[in-house]
Each structure stands twice: as structure tokens, then as C-alpha cells.
Amino acid sequence: DGGITQSPKYLFRKEGQNVTLSCEQNLNHDAMYWYRQDPGQGLRLIYYSQIVNDFQKGDIAEGYSVSREKKESFPLTVTSAQKNPTAFYLCASSISRGGSYEQYFGPGTRLTVT
């Protein structure tokens, strides 16, 4: 999984609780991303950060928050405001090289909220 770690692999929470998903990379990549994947669906962008201390909303940011205090870390908090939080969450990082870039993904965290 290219030097990106996500923990834990499985996470269970009760409805109404906030939960933070960890993402760490040792690839020295500037950009980091959070995606959500639902069964049989593609990946949808939640938040992304192209540099430390800066991040932007993706297509489905409502109910989520992030921070980027360190280059190697980009934690995602799923708040109680997220109406359908149960999903597979994927973190990624990328670096530009000569006009192209590869976006490497972590192994994912499967969050179940009941």
C-alpha cells in the first residue's frame, strides 16, 4: 500500500458519536486525500490537502472535518452530522513528477455506525 497507513482497519461506533480516522504517509508527498467508497460505487472525494496547514472541501465534505498540521498526517473526523457514515474510507497521497502523478492509496478503514 505504498507507505500509507490507515488505522484501524475496522471501526465500530454508536450513532451520535464523533470518530477520527487516522492516515499517515512516509512518502514525503505534499498532497493527501480522503475518499469515501460505498458498495458497488466509485470513490468520492471528501477533503484534500495540497500543503501543510491548508485543505479544501471535496464533493461530499458535509459532516466531515480534517486537519493537516504535519506533512505526513491527515486525520479525518466523521461527525455526528454525517447522516450516513457507514462506509469504506480511503486515504491517499500524491506527488507530481514531470507532468504526471501517481496517487497512492492506503488499505482503508471500514467504519460501521449503528
Partner 1 sequence: GESVGLHLPTLSVQEGDNSIINCAYSNSASDYFIWYKQESGKGPQFIIDIRSNMDKRQGQRVTVLLNKTVKHLSLQIAATQPGDSAVYFCAEDPGGSEKLVFGKGTKLTVNP
Q: Which member of 45, 52, 60, 61 binds partner 1 (CB under 8 A)?
A: 45
Does 52 sit near partner 1 (CB under 8 A)?
A: no
CA nearest 60: which of 40, 81, 75? Answer: 81
CA nearest 62: which of 85, 28, 96, 95? Answer: 85
When the beta carbons of 10 and 14 are compared against partner 1, the nearer one is 10
The one-letter amino acid at 70: K
**Binding window for partner 1 (CB under 8 A); candidates: 14-22, 61-69, 76-84, 104-112:** 104-112
Instruction: Give the span between the Cα atoms of 59 and 86, in whole angstroms.
Output: 17
Does 96 sit near partner 1 (CB under 8 A)?
A: yes
When the beta carbons of 8 and 107 are compared against partner 1, the nearer one is 107
When the beta carbons of 62 and 102 are compared against partner 1, the nearer one is 102
Q: Which member of 21, 34, 36, 48 binds partner 1 (CB under 8 A)?
A: 48
For residue 31, give Cα distances in angstroms to 6, 21, 22, 34, 37: 16, 17, 16, 11, 20
Query: Which one-letter DSSP state was computed for residue 70?
Result: B
When the beta carbons of 73 and 80 are compared against partner 1, the nearer one is 73
Does 105 sit near partner 1 (CB under 8 A)?
A: yes
Adjacent-strand bridge partners of 19: 78
Q: By CB under 8 A, how many residues form the interface with partner 1?
A: 28
